[in-house]
Structure 1
Amino acid sequence: MDDNDFGDFGSDPYEFANVIGDGDQPLYPGCRKYTKLSALVNLYNLKAKHGMSDVCFTELLILQGDLLPEGNTIPTSMYEAKETLCALGLSYEKMHACPNDCILYRKKYEDSTNCPTCGISRWKEGKDSILKEGVLAKVVWYFPPIPKFKRMFRSHETAKSLTWHAARKSIDGQMSHPADSPSWKLLDNKWPEIGNEPRNLRLALSFDGFNPHSSLSSRYSCWPVILVTYNLPPWLCMK
């Protein structure tokens, strides 16, 4: 793998190459089960699952480093762990939103305190019906997709897979990939400037609500929005 595999990406063009190196580096000399990256991802999943604080997670990393053999590569702080994970493109933005989902408080609405559509306040209302200024009524967590798309094209193998739908030929007349569907062909005919470039991404959008605490009595819910890249071969995009 050479420098040309990565191109210009973010403020540090070698940042993603470093992450790939972490994915190949053993957690400690002779370790075959975990790499530096896989161990960190598993530990971070535990942090998220059990609501561990940043301070507690830092202390856990320090303890893990002491328990593991000398020469281990486990990060020693939450800050160092975040630096590694953010290079994977897992960064996010928090956007203030109208409780009725009318607008996002950004751009021209950035300094607004009431929704221009429904008039409801940006701030949360307490049990005493008094607005708690500074306490947001609703927040949307946004994971920008563009950095992830760029990262997909940085790998020769993944970039080749993204044009698989155009290179392969369906000879049995069966619909074995979304590219065989009438919707895909309709898009190609209606917007040929998109259909003629096989590297253009075809995305499927799906979302649904779920209660993260598995409690029917709780009103709290999450509504993740999931994008699936249909360019990939069926054994990847249908996985």
Structure 2
Amino acid sequence: MADKDARSSKATDGEGSRNGEMDKQWIHNPNRCADEYLDGINQFIDFAIANNCVRNGMMETYTTWNHHGEQIQYVSSSDTTRVVDTVDFVMDPNDQIMNIINDVFPTASSNTIVEVEDDIPLTMDSESLKKYEKLLKSAEQKLYPSCEGFSMLTAIVELMHGKPKFRMLNQCFDYFFGVFKRMLPNDNCLPKDHKSEKKVLSGLELGYEKIHACKNNYILFYKENKALDKCPVCNELRFKMTSQNRRTKIPQKVMCYLPLKPRLQRFYMSMHTASDMRWHKDRQVDDDVMRHPADGEVLERV
């Protein structure tokens, strides 16, 4: 306490000032435990309180002090609801999984034809029906015979949710998958690794296309360049130099292309997002007032 009082008195007695102004050289001091640095902090706090908080008052909207060390609690859009009429409502994970399956295969459970647009009906082919039945079986199968809280599919989705959230590498993910499987009863149906669980979730995937790319990003080996073995611009080889006994060729660089059409269809198919996708047609007010990008003339030409 005595040291603090000494530093405070030193900071306010004018010894650290030049021509009536505060000496700010302490900011550049790399030793944050030095007396000079601590004196400067005390002087800054006194100055801020006297000239800002007391004289001008606090900003009423500055309730989360993120500029002064307080952590911001981010809320994901998936965790928010449209109308908050209930408090502490938590949906059962198994019900959430069934909702996801019904969103992906809206015609399976009802045996009806769903219209994505006015004249584009969606029907289920035999391949989609097989995927639906496989997912439904996984959703109804208990993680182990006496388990009441998790189905096999629910457990996989919960674990997969943590993989990108905590940036887990495949090797790390496989390790914990193996640990969890050994912890569970011997008759559990949890997949043994990441590759196995991806096969279970394959019916929910929208898929992507792998396209070989030039190492220096000049071209894609696609369409007219698909048959080339080297880049026509920089002459870099398309594939890595490997052993001649290796049967598969390893590309220098790969681009993952996410097709847009099936992703837009998924938005229209889901009961949670379909109404938003059709808002511009079903609920947009045509009164010559610009209140949304959909009211602009540019969007009408798209």
TM-score range, shorter chain: 0.5 to 0.7
Q: Is 2:94 the partner of 1:94? A: no
Asked whether the 8 Å contact 2:174–2:194 carries over to 1, the reply is: yes
Q: 1:50 aligns with which of 168, 171, 196?
A: 168
Amino acid in structure 2 at the alignment position of 1:122? L
Q: How does 1:130-209 map to 2 (within 5 A)?
A: 132=241, 136-156=251-271, 158-170=273-285, 175-187=290-302
> Is the alpha carbon distance of 1:62 and 1:137 closer, same or farther for their aligned partners in structure 2, counting shifts above 3 Å?
closer
**How many Å separate the matches in 1 of 2:203 and 2:238?**
33
Q: Is 2:192 the partner of 1:76? A: yes
Q: Which has the higher helix share?
A: 2
Asked whether the 8 Å contact 2:212–2:220 carries over to 1, the reply is: yes
SS of residue matched to 2:211: strand
CA RMSD of aligned residues (A): 4.0
Q: 1:2 aligns with which of 88, 99, 110?
A: 110
Instruction: State the identity as a percent.
Output: 26
**How many Å separate the matches in 1 of 2:263 and 2:125?**
11
Q: TM-score, normalised to structure 2's length?
A: 0.44
Asked whether the 8 Å contact 1:98–1:104 carries over to 2, the reply is: yes
Counterpart of 2:149? 30
Q: Deviations over 1:199-218 (max 9, x none)?
A: xxxxxxxxxxxxxxxxxxxx
**How many Å separate the matches in 2 of 1:15 and 1:64?**
26
Counterpart of 1:226? none
**How many Å separate the matches in 2 of 1:170 and 1:24?**
44
Asked whether the 8 Å contact 2:230–2:237 carries over to 1, the reply is: yes
Counterpart of 2:23? none
Asked whether the 8 Å contact 1:175–1:181 carries over to 2, the reply is: yes
**How many Å separate the matches in 2 of 1:79 and 1:135?**
20
Counterpart of 1:114? 230
Counterpart of 1:211? none
SS of residue matched to 2:205: coil
Asked whether the 8 Å contact 1:114–1:120 carries over to 2, the reply is: yes
**How many Å separate the matches in 1 of 2:126 and 2:266?**
10
Q: Deviations over 1:136-191 (max 9, x none)?
A: 4432122233333333343455444422210113267654433123321343xxxx
Q: Report how many residues are paired.
A: 176
Structure 2 segments unaligned to the other structure (5+ residues): 1-108, 115-121, 243-248
Q: Deviations over 1:48-106 (max 9, x none)?
A: 823232xx644532421343478866333333311133322253332111245443213
Shift of 1:25: 8.0
> Is the alpha carbon distance of 1:18 and 1:29 closer, same or farther for their aligned partners in structure 2, counting shifts above 3 Å?
same
Asked whether the 8 Å contact 2:231–2:238 carries over to 1, the reply is: no
Counterpart of 1:196? none
Asked whether the 8 Å contact 2:213–2:238 carries over to 1, the reply is: no
Amino acid in structure 1 at the alignment position of 2:159? L
> Is the alpha carbon distance of 1:80 and 1:100 closer, same or farther for their aligned partners in structure 2, counting shifts above 3 Å?
closer
> Is the alpha carbon distance of 1:22 and 1:174 closer, same or farther for their aligned partners in structure 2, counting shifts above 3 Å?
farther
SS of residue matched to 1:141: strand
> Is the alpha carbon distance of 1:89 and 1:9 closer, same or farther for their aligned partners in structure 2, counting shifts above 3 Å?
farther
> Is the alpha carbon distance of 1:157 and 1:90 closer, same or farther for their aligned partners in structure 2, counting shifts above 3 Å?
closer
Amino acid in structure 2 at the alignment position of 1:45? P
Asked whether the 8 Å contact 1:89–1:148 carries over to 2, the reply is: no
Question: Relative contact order (alpha carbons < 8 A, sep ≥ 6): 1 or 2 greater?
Answer: 1
SS of residue matched to 1:140: strand
**How many Å separate the matches in 2 of 1:40 and 1:155?**
23
Q: TM-score, normalised to structure 1's length?
A: 0.54
Amino acid in structure 2 at the alignment position of 1:40? L
Q: Which has the higher strand share?
A: 1
SS of residue matched to 1:3: coil
